[in-house]
């Protein structure tokens, strides 16, 4: 049960503003929670705390976020030190707005089982203060070094972001929520103006509640028109959201909750009129964005509310207070839709004013909702009950608590079965490289600060049913206009896959005008490559020796262009790829380029233009000089033949820098050398030399030091002595056969390439040359 709650806040410009750090705000709230439970002398409670759990601050919510004024190395223990407490354990939860309620549910179970006696939950943000002070002449240092262990649960970002989402401008919550919101608007059949008023009507009572809360960051009641109508002070950020309809992150707020058992509360002298019990609780997770059946709904959130109410033995109608997480309107309406909860319910849907008006408070908003709910229940009558719904991620995680003053034994979590049911729902297929016709499922449009449209983002379905992400092709004003007007959903679009992501336009003709397909031809020169053509042989040299021939996006794009031209040119029969100098074939991806803040991508055909290329039916030889590490080794594995000088070394070294060999290394290496050696090389990053690679079948020939390229030329000369048509057909047939586990089935299966070879001119020429005892004159057809 909760026996004490406390909140703290300050606003810049007010007389009592002091510029308190997050630790200071959390400590202030914790002191108030202790006083709330123990009265003026809270020392017995303070001394009894054996667990302090912290909600992760925004500036520590991902590995890439920074704290401009510094942050403590151990947030929970920093608060405990200021309190004069010495907890046995300290815990820092994952990021997400669900975290405070999840901690109550989780630590409630620890208390119930005797694992924890007295627990203090704290969280705070000083985002507004940090931005204010960092611009000053002498900014303070908010960092603190505290001794003691910390159970850090990590950032908890799995499924919330991905390379695919980020490459399509979906790296921020507002853009993903806008997609859900627009999908809901389309499902309800509302135009943009009507839907804007529904969002304003939903949130206007929230602003009125904030106006009555002493800790609200924006305590001003707003009308429906003020919220829904774009203006100079309420600009459109991303369709359909104006600034007033989004969570307010510029806050200075802290909150704390004290949890204990009845036995401990009695022992420590906490009066019974302070006790508030957790009657029902549930924690459920939604599918990742692209795996959801319906982007307008939130079944995990709805199920979590239903489970918690069922556990508490009450219905929605029995609740006295309700607080639904409100980072964006859809977070509230998606719950209300399925539960039949009216937006204008007389009880209200928030006890604080919600995230846009009370304040986002980083990941800690729900701690304020819990604290305010406890305060309200204490004065509402002995049988009053309240519900707090806390959302994390992108409608991703939902934690619910149902509270009451009526004593009730702890009930264990019942969510596992319901989670299994949610996870069993079939997911749509995903087309990461989308090509062809499809339909817009939902979409949004971002805006510059001056009101100009910026980026159109679309979730679509190809005609085969697979879902895809895309950006509107630059210059397609028609589709951009439809996104602005709210008429894009259901529009037929044409998709094109590029290395930087998918693009869509309203027709294939417009796509061709805006993004014409390049005719695959060799250019006269390249910036990052040297390309030489010698009769039927193409030599490609990665020319970045100062970076150990590591590849960045421009170099990768050039390699894709070159190999596109190679595979399209009937007079080119063999290609050789190597690296400039004698140090490295390729060190893989250019990490220095990426670390400098530059965007990273690979072409549709993969790293080096080869690792994802389908239909490689002409030989590519890797001439490995020096080392081929990480992506460089993956290029080698994608080649048909490998010649290495005796000093060459090979390694999949990605795990040593927290990455994985995602460009084919994890697929091709086990097939080439077997799982035992592949596991060793992947898990340890151990390099292997040319001789070991040759003995394991990774290398065809080992050349003297510095002679890999001449040896590769010799191998190419032997290949072009054979029929290029036969070689092309043989490579196609071997690729077909790889799909058959049974060799007899593969041999017996019909093969179009073999039929085509039988009727080819090269087949006739080869037989005649044999009979006439002369060298064949291949025509490659």
Number of Cβ within 10 Å of residue 722's Cβ equals 15
Q: CA 92 to CA 85: how far, in whole Å?
A: 17
Contact 731, 615 (CB under 8 A): no
Residue of 209, 7, 9 lying closest to 128 (CA atoms): 9
Contact 238, 447 (CB under 8 A): yes
- Helices 192-210 and 173-188 cross at an angle (nearest 10°) of 120
221 three-class SS: coil
Catalytic residue, candidates 226, 654, 680, 692: 654
181 included as an active-site residue: no
Residue of 356, 361, 331, 355 lying closest to 343 (CA atoms): 331
Contact 3, 104 (CB under 8 A): no
Return the exposure string of 244-263: e unless at least 16 CB atoms fall within 10 Å of the residue's CB, then b.
bbbbbbbbbbbbbbbbbbbe
Q: CA 739 to CA 735: how far, in whole Å?
A: 7
6 strand-pairing partners: 256
Catalytic residue, candidates 286, 306, 539, 634: 634
Residue of 89, 234, 69 lying closest to 153 (CA atoms): 89
- Helices 329-339 and 192-210 cross at an angle (nearest 10°) of 100
Helix ranges (H only) for 581-630 are: 591-595
284 three-class SS: strand
Count of H-run helices and E-run strands, the chain? 27, 27
Q: CA 526 to CA 656: how far, in whole Å?
A: 32
62 three-class SS: coil
Q: CA 461 to CA 490: how far, in whole Å?
A: 10
Q: CA 122 to CA 687: how far, in whole Å?
A: 48
Q: CA 221 to CA 113: how far, in whole Å?
A: 45
Contact 515, 503 (CB under 8 A): yes
Interacting residues of 316 by C-beta distance below 8 A, sequence separation 6+: 309, 339, 340, 341
Helix ranges (H only) for 685-737 are: 690-695, 708-720, 724-737
Strand order in the sheet with 51-54: 2-9, 252-260, 118-126, 51-54, 89-92, 151-152
Residue of 729, 704, 725 lying closest to 714 (CA atoms): 704
634 included as an active-site residue: yes
647 three-class SS: coil
Element (H, E) at 45: helix 43-48
Residue 153, phi then psi, degrees to nearest 5: -80, 0
Residue found by looking up tokens 């774009």 in the block = 230
Residue 362, phi then psi, degrees to nearest 5: 60, -130
Q: CA 287 to CA 305: how far, in whole Å?
A: 17
Q: CA 647 to CA 582: how far, in whole Å?
A: 10
Interacting residues of 729 by C-beta distance below 8 A, sequence separation 6+: 617, 753, 754, 756, 757, 760
Cis geometry, peptide bond prior to residue 240 (ω within 30 degrees of 0): yes
Region of 114 please: left (phi>0), alpha (psi -120 to 50) or beta: left
* Alpha-carbon dihedral sign for residues 736, 739, 743, 747: negative
Residue 759, phi then psi, degrees to nearest 5: -100, 10
Give me the active site residues, please: 634, 654
């Amino acid at each position: 049960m909760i026996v004490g709650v406390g909140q703290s806040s300050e606003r810049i410009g007010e007389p009592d503003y002091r510029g308190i750090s997050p630790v200071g705000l959390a400590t202030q709230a914790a002191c108030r929670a202790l006083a709330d439970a123990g009265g003026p002398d809270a020392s017995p409670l303070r001394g009894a705390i054996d667990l302090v759990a912290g909600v992760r601050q925004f500036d520590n919510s991902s590995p890439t976020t920074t704290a401009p004024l510094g942050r403590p190395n151990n947030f929970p223990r920093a608060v405990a030190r200021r309190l004069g407490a010495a907890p046995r354990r300290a815990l820092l939860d994952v990021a997400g707005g669900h975290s405070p309620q999840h901690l109550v549910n989780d630590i409630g179970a620890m208390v119930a089982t005797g694992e924890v006696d007295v627990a203090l939950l704290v969280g705070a943000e000083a985002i507004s203060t940090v931005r204010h002070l960092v611009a000053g002449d002498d900014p303070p240092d908010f960092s603190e070094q505290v001794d003691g262990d910390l159970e850090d649960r990590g950032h908890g970002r799995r499924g919330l972001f991905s390379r695919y989402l980020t490459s399509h401008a979906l790296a921020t919550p507002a853009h993903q929520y806008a997609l859900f919101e627009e999908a809901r608007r389309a499902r309800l059949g509302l135009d943009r103006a009507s839907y804007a008023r529904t969002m304003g009507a939903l949130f206007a009572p929230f602003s009125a509640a904030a106006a009555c809360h002493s800790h609200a960051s924006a305590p001003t009641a707003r009308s429906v028109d003020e919220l829904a109508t774009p203006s100079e002070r309420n600009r459109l950020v991303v369709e359909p959201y104006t600034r007033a309809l989004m969570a307010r992150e510029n806050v200075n707020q802290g909150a704390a909750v004290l949890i204990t058992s009845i036995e401990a509360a009695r022992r420590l002298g906490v009066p019974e009129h302070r006790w508030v019990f957790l009657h029902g609780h549930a924690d459920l997770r939604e599918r990742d964005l692209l795996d959801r059946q319906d982007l307008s709904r939130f079944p995990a959130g709805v199920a979590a509310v239903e489970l918690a109410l069922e556990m508490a033995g009450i219905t929605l109608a029995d609740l006295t207070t309700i607080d639904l997480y409100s980072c964006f309107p859809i977070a509230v309406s998606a719950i209300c839709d399925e539960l039949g909860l009216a937006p204008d319910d007389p009880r209200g849907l928030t006890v604080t004013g919600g995230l846009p008006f009370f304040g986002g408070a980083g990941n800690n908003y729900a701690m304020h909702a819990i604290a305010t709910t406890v305060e309200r229940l204490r004065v509402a009558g002995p049988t009053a009950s309240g519900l707090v719904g806390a959302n994390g991620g992108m409608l991703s995680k939902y934690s619910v608590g149902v509270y009451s003053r009526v004593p009730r034994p702890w009930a264990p979590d019942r969510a596992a079965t319901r989670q299994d049911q949610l996870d069993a729902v079939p997911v749509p297929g995903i087309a990461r490289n989308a090509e062809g016709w499809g339909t817009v499922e939902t979409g949004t449009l971002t805006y510059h600060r001056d009101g100009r449209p910026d980026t159109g983002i679309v979730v679509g379905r190809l005609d085969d049913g697979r879902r895809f992400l895309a950006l509107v092709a630059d210059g397609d004003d028609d589709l951009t206009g439809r996104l602005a007007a709210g008429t894009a959903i259901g529009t037929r679009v044409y998709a094109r896959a590029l290395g930087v992501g998918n693009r869509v336009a309203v027709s294939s003709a417009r796509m061709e005008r805006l993004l014409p397909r390049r005719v695959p031809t060799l250019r006269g020169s390249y910036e990052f490559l040297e390309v030489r053509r010698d009769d039927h042989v193409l030599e490609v040299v990665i020319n970045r020796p100062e970076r150990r021939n590591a590849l960045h996006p421009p170099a990768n794009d050039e390699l894709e262009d070159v190999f596109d031209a190679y595979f399209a040119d009937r007079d080119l029969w063999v290609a050789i790829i190597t690296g400039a100098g004698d140090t490295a074939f390729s060190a893989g991806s250019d990490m220095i380029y990426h670390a400098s803040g530059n965007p990273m991508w690979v072409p549709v055909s993969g790293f080096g233009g080869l690792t994802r290329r389908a239909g490689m039916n002409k030989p590519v030889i890797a001439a490995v000089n020096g080392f081929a590490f990480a992506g460089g080794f993956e290029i080698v594995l994608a080649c048909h033949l490998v010649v290495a000088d005796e000093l060459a070394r090979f390694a999949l070294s990605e795990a040593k820098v927290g990455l994985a060999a995602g460009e084919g290394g994890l697929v091709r290496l086990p097939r080439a050398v077997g799982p035992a050696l592949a596991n060793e090389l992947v898990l340890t990053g151990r390099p292997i030399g040319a001789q070991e690679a040759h003995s394991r079948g990774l290398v065809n020939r080992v050349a003297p030091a510095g002679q890999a390229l001449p040896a590769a030329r010799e191998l190419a000369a032997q290949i072009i002595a054979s029929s290029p048509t036969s070689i092309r057909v043989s490579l196609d047939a071997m690729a077909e056969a790889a799909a058959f586990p049974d060799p007899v089935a593969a041999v017996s299966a019909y093969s179009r390439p073999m039929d085509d070879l039988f009727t080819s001119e090269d087949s006739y020429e080869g037989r005649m040359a044999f009979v006439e005892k002369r060298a064949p004159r291949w025509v490659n057809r």
